[in-house]
Amino acid sequence: MFSHALHKPVREIFVRRIARLSFVLLLLNGCKKDDVTIIQEPLRLQITSLFAINGNGSVTLGWTPVINGNASELVLYRGTSIDFQPSANNYYATLRTSDTMFIDNAVTNGAFYCYRIVPVGIRSGGVRQSGLMTNVAIGRPFDYSTITDIQYTQHIQAIFNSSCAVHGCHVGEDDVGADKRSALRKTLHGGQFSLKSWNDLFEGSKDGAVIIPFKALKSDLVAHINSDTLVAPTAEPHMPLPGFNLPMAQVQTLMRWVDMGAPNDEGAIAYTYSPQGKIVSVNALEDLLSVVDVSRDLLIRYVDVGSSADTNLAFGSPHHVKVDANGRYFYATLIIARELWKFSTRTYEFLGKATIPSQPGRAAQPADLAFSVTGDTAFVTDFNSSPGRVAMVDTRSMQTIGVITLLGPLPPTLPHGAMLSVDRSRLFTTNSGTGNLSMIRLSDMSQSIITLDTSGVSFTTLTSPYLCDMTPDGRYLFVTDYKVGAQNIYVVDFQRDSTKAWKAVNIGGRSVHVAITPDGRYAYVCNFSDNSVEVIDIMNFSVTTIPDVGSQPHGVIFTPDGSKAYVTTENLSNPNPPHHPTAGGKGISFVVVIDVATKTITKRIEVGAWGQGLTFVP
């Protein structure tokens, strides 16, 4: 049986060569192409992928079903080198064609085993035909529960080499040469990526990063190989294949490695440098900040805040994040924890926090913030204050050094947004409870009211101003209206009247964030009601819609060169699901990338749940 199966391919090669020679001779004898009938050889039986799962004292083999015909049996061979060829000397077992799994218990932990399968079929006339032999599956049984010092190549890449980076799967290159791409390559995400090396792993897929350093519970690869939602989220399709589970000791070892930063053998951590800067955004439902690399539009980190940073802390609910004028630190407001947190823009290290003081009977809700010229003072709005208040925090000591109480004919209430004028001389707050803005001159702390009522009424409940942004020349201030049923965004023209809105621009829904392009030409407005971004041309105040941005767009920011806009979506209740079904997590939101020149969406980046504020970090 073995002699017949092994010599048949040799005979077929000889027959093919004779057929080619005969065809050439016919042409040399003057025959036309139409005179020749070319009989194509039947496709060879094939198993596209063979993989191994290395257990403690066992190797489990799994494979894809036979294609290109019906096999009569599967012949398994076991060798000791990756270039071994099937022979009678390394025959191991004959398997049924319905089998897709084989467990080898005749193994020793730490030893090296190589496996191949050859499908065998019956051709017409009862002639046996050997199919194409599979790739080599690498078996190296090991007790992963005994590992204390995780080494990438020895422990992590070994898992990938046996169970993932095999022919037809995550190999990046096919078996015939490093210069060719595998047409059979499969992926977890529908986009191609390789697990053959540490560098390949961190290239990610078309759907984003596969591993997030320091955050195993938010890494897609972990979800796809995990089988227990009590350990981590799970995702479909399950890998290596449905019905095949990696030993939980391997899953937990991989998770430990990711939570260490997923270093290579030299200790290097991926994504430590972002030459074009980063976008840091809030994921309020998970007490996380997500970090996107601008050059690759790739999720590269999660930063813990509140209860994620310390399980002894209560849920903090981060709301807004801002970078200071010097670009050295970024700060996050925790609206439920009543705190302001400070981080390094380079290392993401937590550097301190300040507690925002509450009014009697009204727990403070720090919402938005702005910085003094030097960056030494942060002005933090209290969204639950009445009369409205702004806390002043010394960012060097992270201590509250004062409180500004908002003044007016009727005291402003519920201040949410905060921003400084272009010349850094005035602080604006959007007072949601009284439908107006406060303008504070920092030179003497004098205050005045800007109403959104274009007729000049200082107080109105018809609007609920949320956030604002100013054109680079300091002329226009755009103010969003988050009131249910709102349709407009308001424009204050300081060359006309600094006490009231000059124009209401209809955008057809509730507006949340607004951002002005760096060149001052356009205002991008998040239309929460319509799941769109409205682009206002400041030359004539016409409106263009970018539709289908995602569920409940919230925040928007530009890169300094103005080439890209980044928009967060809240996506509460997950109307826009993840690219693969996931169980055991809290859901997702998105950071959506828009090409400003064409006003088109170029990428949707999945991040943690309930996206809100965001900032650009150099």
The identity of residue 12, as a single letter, is: E
Q: Are residues 247 and 161 in the same domain?
A: yes
Same domain for 152 and 131, yes or no, is: no
Residue 55 CA to chain centroid, in angstroms? 31
The answer on pLDDT for 150 being more than 50 is yes
Instruction: Identify which has the larger pLDDT, 489 or 10.
Output: 489
Terminal-residue alpha carbon distance, the chain: 68
Mean pLDDT on 394-407: 98
Identify whether residues 95 and 187 lie together within a single domain.
no
Residues 135, 32 share a domain: yes
| 297 and 384 in a common domain | yes
DSSP code string of 56-96: TTEEEEEEPPPBSS--SEEEEEEESSTT----GGGEEEEE-
Q: What average pLDDT does this structure show over 173-186?
A: 37
309/339 same-domain check: yes
- Assess whether 312 and 229 both reside in one domain: no
266, amino acid identity: E
What are the pLDDT digits (tens) for 517-529? 999 999 999 999 9
- Give pLDDT, residue 454: 76
Residue 348 domain-assigned? Answer: yes
The answer to whether residue 501 sits within a structural domain is no
What number of other Cβ atoms are within 10 A of residue 58's Cβ?
16
Domain count, the chain: 3
CB of 180 closer than 8 Å to CB of 187: no
Q: Is the peptide bond before 387 cis (omega within 30 degrees of 0)?
A: yes
Q: Does residue 251 form part of some domain? A: yes
The string of pLDDT tens digits covering residues 528-541 is 999 999 999 999 99
Mean pLDDT of 375-387: 97
Q: What is the pLDDT of residue 125?
A: 72
* 292 and 240 together in one domain: no
- The whole domain housing 232 covers 146-259
Is the residue at 457 inside a domain? no
Kindly report the number of other CB atoms within 10 A of residue 580's CB atom: 16
pLDDT computed for residue 181 by the predictor: 31
Same domain, 197 and 131: no
CATH number assigned to the domain comprising residue 11: 2.60.40.10
Residues 123 and 220 both lie in one domain: no
- 533 belongs to a structural domain: no
Residues 55-111 pLDDT 10s: 999 999 999 888 888 889 999 999 999 999 999 999 999 999 999 999 999 999 999
Q: Which of these, 572, 585, 570, lies nearest to 235 by C-alpha position?
A: 585
pLDDT number for residue 182 = 36
For all residues of the chain together, what is the average pLDDT? 88
Structure tokens at 480: 């969003």
In a domain, 445, yes or no: no
What is the model's pLDDT at position 461? 73
CA angle (372, 376, 381) in 5-degree steps? 55
pLDDT number for residue 459? 63
In terms of pLDDT, which residue wins out, 42 or 566? 566
111 in the same domain as 87:
yes
Same domain as 111, residue 88 = yes
Contact status, residue 585 vs residue 573, Cβ threshold 8 Å: no
CATH of the domain at 318: 2.130.10.10
Last residue of a domain, one of 83, 113, 139: 139
pLDDT given for residue 13 in this prediction: 37
Task: Specify the residue for token string 């997923």.
Answer: 262
471 within some domain? no
Give the per-residue SS3 of 256-306.
HHHHCCCCCCCCCCCCCCCCCCEEEEEEHHHCEEEEEECCCCEEEEEEECH
Domain boundary among 259, 293, 318: 259
Is the pLDDT reported for residue 118 higher than 70? yes
Residue 120 has pLDDT above 90, yes or no: yes
Q: What's the pTM?
A: 0.86
Q: pLDDT class for 456, splitting at 50, 70, 90?
A: low
Q: Does residue 486 fall inside a structural domain?
A: no
pLDDT tens by residue, 273-291: 999 999 999 999 999 999 9
Q: What integer pLDDT is reported at residue 171 of this predicted model?
A: 59
Residue-wise pLDDT for 302-346, tens only, equals: 999 999 999 889 899 999 999 998 999 999 999 999 999 999 999
